[in-house]
Amino acid sequence: MTSQAEQKQTNPHDEWTQEWVVTEAEAGERLDKFVAESAEEGVSRTQVQEWIRTGAVTVNGATVKPNYRLEPGDVVAVTPPEPEDADIRPEPIPLHVVYEDGDVIVVDKPRGMVVHPAHGHASGTLVNALLHHCRDLSGINGRLRPGIVHRIDKDTSGLLMAAKNDLAHVSLSEQLKAHTVERAYIALVHGNLPHDQGTIDAPIGRDPHDRKKFAVTAGGKPSVTHFAVLERFGDYTLVRLQLETGRTHQIRVHMKYIGHPLAGDPVYGRAKTLPLDGQALHAVVLGFVHPRTGEALRFESPIPDDFQRILDMLRNR
C-alpha cells in the first residue's frame, strides 16, 4: 500500500504550524473565512484577521490581506501566536512518571488528558501537571507548550517525553526529525486484516471535504506506518504499529484508509463499536538517545485497564 504522490512541505520542522493546499473546490474563498473554518483552535474570523495582519498567516510564504481570494494550489500556513496574557498555571494533577532526570521526563499519559493548552483551554492538561511537578521545563515551544517535544491525541494513552532544558529539547526534536525515535503502539481495529504484517505508505494532509480532519491525500506529507497482527478476534484485530513518521492522527487515518479503523475512534471510526471512551490506541514503547549522556533509553507501558478489559471480553465471548 504505497503512494508516489509528490509532496509539498512548507515549514517542515515546525510541528505547530498548520498548513493547507487549496483545492479547486476551495478556490475563490476569502482567506480569513478559510482559516477560521480550518484552524484547529476553532478561532473567530475576527481573530484570524488579526493573525493575518500580524503575519501569522501566509499564502505561498507571503503575507496578504484578509480578503485575498484563494487560488488552486495556494499553500496557506498558519502559526497561531500565543495569547499575550497566557497564564498557564501549575496544577497538582497526578502524573505517572516512568523516568526522570535533570534533562528529560517520560510520563505515561492516561486516555482523556490533553497534552498542552490551546486557546480557551488553559487547565487540566499534561503541561499544567508537568509545570507543577518539574518547574524547570524547556521554553523553546513557548508558554503554552513548555517542554513538549511531541504529542499524542487526547484519547490516546501511553508514553510521552518532555524536555527539561533547551539542550534536551533540541536533541529530542532532532531525533524525531531524523526518525530515530522508537515509537510503537498497540491498537484494536475493526475487521480481520488480510495480512499478518505490512507497511502503509500514504501521504497525509487535511481532508479536502472536512478541514477539521485529516486524510490520505495527494497533497499530503509523506507518512509511513508499519503494522503487525498480534491477535485476531474475527471482527476485530489487535495490532502493533511502528511509526516511521509522526503526522497528526497518522495511525487513525492510515488504519481507516486500509478499511480497518480503530475501535472507539469518535472521528475516524464506525458508529457501532466497543464500549471504550475514545480510540483503542496505546503508545506502548518509546525509545530515544539520552540528549546528554548518549545512552540508549527504551521504555514500555502496559495496556491500560479499560483497554485490557475489552481484550478479555473479546477473548472470552
Q: Is residue 88 part of a domain?
A: no
pLDDT of 276 strictly over 60:
yes
- Helices in 44-91 by DSSP H: which ranges? 45-53
More confident residue, 274 or 196: 196
Q: Of 76, 111, 145, which residue is a domain's last?
A: 76
3-state secondary structure of 111: coil
Residue environment code for 68-106, b if the CB has 16+ CB neighbours within 10 A, otherwise e? bebeeebbbbbebeeeeeeebeeeebebeebeeeebbbb
pLDDT band at 4, cuts 50/70/90? Answer: very low
Indicate if 68 and 197 belong to the same structural domain.
no
Model confidence, pTM: 0.77
Domain match, 63 and 98 both: no
251/198 Cα distance (integer angstroms): 13
Q: Answer whether residue 235 is part of any domain.
A: yes
In a domain, 251, yes or no: yes
Same domain, 206 and 111: yes
- 160 and 291: one domain? yes
Interatomic CA distance for residues 137 and 166, integer angstroms: 8
- Look up the domain containing 208 and give its range: 94-314
The mean pLDDT value for 279-304 works out to 97
Please check whether residue 176 is in contact with residue 169, taking contact to mean a CB–CB distance below 8 angstroms.
no
pLDDT (mean) for 195-210 = 90
CATH, residue 250: 3.30.2350.10
CATH of the domain at 39: 3.10.290.10
Share of the chain above pLDDT 70, in %: 88
Whether residues 40 and 176 fall in one domain: no
Whose cell is 481507516? That residue is 256
Q: Classify residue 3: in a domain, yes or no.
A: no
Q: Are residues 57 and 149 in the same domain?
A: no
Residue 179 · residue 152 · CB < 8 Å: no
Interval 36-55 mean pLDDT: 80
The model's confidence at residue 95, banded by pLDDT at 50, 70 and 90, is very high
Kindly state whether residues 71 and 135 are assigned to the same domain. Answer: no
In this prediction, residue 79 has a pLDDT band, given cuts at 50, 70 and 90, of confident
Q: Are residues 98 and 197 in the same domain?
A: yes
Say whether pLDDT at 182 is over 60. Answer: yes
Contact call for residues 16 and 145 (beta carbons, < 8 A): yes
pLDDT digits (tens, 9 = 90+) for 133-159: 987 788 776 666 788 888 898 899 999
The verdict on residue 6 lying in a domain is no
Active-site residues: which are they?
A: 153
- Give the number of domains in the chain: 2
- Nearest alpha carbon to residue 31 among 73, 79, 64, 72: 64
How confident is residue 60, by pLDDT bands cut at 50, 70 and 90?
very high
Tell me which residue of 257, 195, 273, 264 sits closest to 224, measured CA to CA.
Answer: 257
Q: How confident is residue 272, by pLDDT bands cut at 50, 70 and 90?
A: confident
In a domain, 70, yes or no: yes
Q: How far is it, in rounded angstroms, from Cα 138 to Cα 135?
A: 10
Is 70 exceeded by the pLDDT of residue 86? no
Given a cut of 70, is residue 67 above it in pLDDT? Answer: yes
Nearest to 263 by CA among 238, 290, 231: 238
Name the band, by pLDDT with cuts 50, 70 and 90, for residue 120. Answer: low
How confident is the model over 273-294, as a mean pLDDT? 94
The answer on pLDDT for 38 being more than 90 is no
Residue 81 covered by a domain: no
Task: Of 25-29, 77-81, 92-96, 231-235, give the lowest mean pLDDT range.
Answer: 77-81
pLDDT at 148: 87
Same structural domain, 175 and 291 = yes
Q: Are residues 122 and 237 in the same domain?
A: yes
Q: Calculate the average pLDDT of the chain.
A: 86
Q: Does 167 share its domain with 298?
A: yes
| Judgement on whether residues 25 and 60 belong to the same structural domain of the protein | yes
38-47, 81-90, 160-169: range with highest mean pLDDT = 160-169
